[in-house]
Amino acid sequence: MTSRRLWYLRGARTAVSIPGLILASAFVGFAGLAKEAGLTLAETVFMVGMVWALPAKVVLVGAILSGASLPAAAFAVALSSIRLAPMVVALVPELRGPKTPRWVLYVLSHFVAVTSWVLAMERLRGIPRDMRTSYYAGLGSTLVLVNMAVVAIVFLVADSLPPAVSAALFLLTPMYFLTSLWGSARERAGHVAMVIGLVVGPLLHLVAPGFDLLGAGLIGGGAAFIFHKLSRRRAPA
């Protein structure tokens, strides 16, 4: 039990990092956005804990502002969260030990988002397998609880925060996501997908603004898949 508590605390300490700080700064912007949408303090903090992934919360707030129906908002949030499924699939085998209960993996999968996923994938291989769930529990729960506190504080002082500052801080999130995913990519195909997405995304936004993100993902991901297959064929046996 002492060892598990120690690894939990080490995971919590990992959350206190530059990526964690950048993520917290992005939640500053989200708090202002939620207040502008008319959400209460309790609703905003609850959303952080239950939805967790920041893009999904932004989509939900956007649906509230646009007056979308509940089924439409739920569908939009679910669609934006599909991107997390491959992360869960990649992370769970790294977390699973010989005697790890399935319910533990189900609970820990709630903490999967870009920041926690990148930090975990960079460090898990250096952690004893039977301690990885404790480590990730400390990492994920700390990120969630800290950002719930950040959102609560900023929500209360949002009226005194300049809108330009909130917007600037919110832009740190996509910048961090891009640099983190680039650095953590284990194969060149990941870089190919990101480069093509960055080029195609703005072009599609001019042609089909409602489908630019989806189209960029399909084109970039498809091109990366083809690149990966061709690279494997050319590789010496």
- 63 shares a domain with 149: yes
- 203 shares a domain with 168: no
Q: Is residue 180 part of a domain?
A: no
Q: Is residue 141 part of a domain?
A: yes
Q: Give the tens place of pLDDT for each residue, 112-138.
A: 988 899 899 888 988 999 899 999 999
- Asked which of 144, 173, 202 is the last residue of a domain, the reply is 173
Residue 83: is it exposed, middle or buried by C-beta count within 10 angstroms (0-12/13-18/19+)?
A: middle
Is the confidence at residue 237, as pLDDT, over 60? Answer: no
**Per-residue pLDDT, 176:** 64
What's the pLDDT band for 167 if we cut at 50, 70, 90? low
Which of 134-143, 173-182, 222-231 has the highest mean predicted lDDT (pLDDT)?
Answer: 134-143
Quote the Cα angle for 127-128-132, to 5°.
Answer: 70
Q: Is residue 179 part of a domain?
A: no
Predicted model pTM:
0.73
Reading the block at residue 102, the tokens are 């399935």
Judged by phi (left if over 0) then psi (alpha if -120 to 50, else beta), residue 39 lies in beta
Judged by phi (left if over 0) then psi (alpha if -120 to 50, else beta), residue 100 lies in beta
Q: What is the domain extent for residue 212?
A: 185-237
| Helix axes 2-15 and 114-123, enclosed angle (nearest 10) | 120
- 129 shares a domain with 48: yes
**Per-residue pLDDT, 9:** 93
Is the confidence at residue 106, as pLDDT, over 90? Answer: yes
Q: Is residue 99 part of a domain?
A: yes
